[in-house]
Structure 1
Amino acid sequence: MLRLPKVRIIKKRPDFQHVYHAGRSMACRYFVLYVMETEEHAGKVGFAAGKKLGCAVVRNRVKRLLRECYRLHQEELREGVAILLVGRKAMTTAKRDVVERAYLALGRKMGIFS
């Protein structure tokens, strides 16, 4: 079973902002993927869901879906990249398999998989 260690999760605001501003991004209907080539944050990932998505229950569901998609495919990621996944409104009603397919498609376009 694959785990997502807490040391690989970006939690601090300056780290989020660094990946957000310095990284390149691509969006799909369900989320926005930010990717940054870095040594400092290599292999780390951040998850975000803004208040526009809804109440805390909805935002937490969005982040759980993003974490699960990342967790299932974390072994396929290239070395030396930090990614940030930001949920969008359409994700509040989406199923996991649909979001996972979108994650894989967008990840291939961005070149984050080896």
Structure 2
Amino acid sequence: SVLTNTLSCEVGIITQRKMPRVVPDQRSTFDNDELFRRLSRECEVKYTGFRDRPLEERQLRFQTECREGHADIAFVATGTNLQLNFESNAWSDTHGAGKMSIPTGSL
């Protein structure tokens, strides 16, 4: 199965900066839009790159991609796939083993 071959990783998002307004009432849109409601729930997030490679290689490639400023991830519960692009070295792994955080201003 594709899900069993992916590297499990928890991604926490730290809100440090405000996102530029794209819609007039961002809070209402975030609270009421079905996609945002599903993605705001705590769930398992997995790295989806290099599924055909061994686990150790996938872990190294994930770390390398994060250092370069990008990563392909999937929210397991909703099946939503995202390609994250952020500033190089903007992430932090100080939140414990197997966890990383990316400031929202970097996305």
User: What TM-score does the superposition give when structure 1 sets the normalisation length?
Assistant: 0.24
Larger helix percent: 1
User: What TM-score does the superposition give when structure 2 sets the normalisation length?
Assistant: 0.25
Rg bigger for which structure?
2
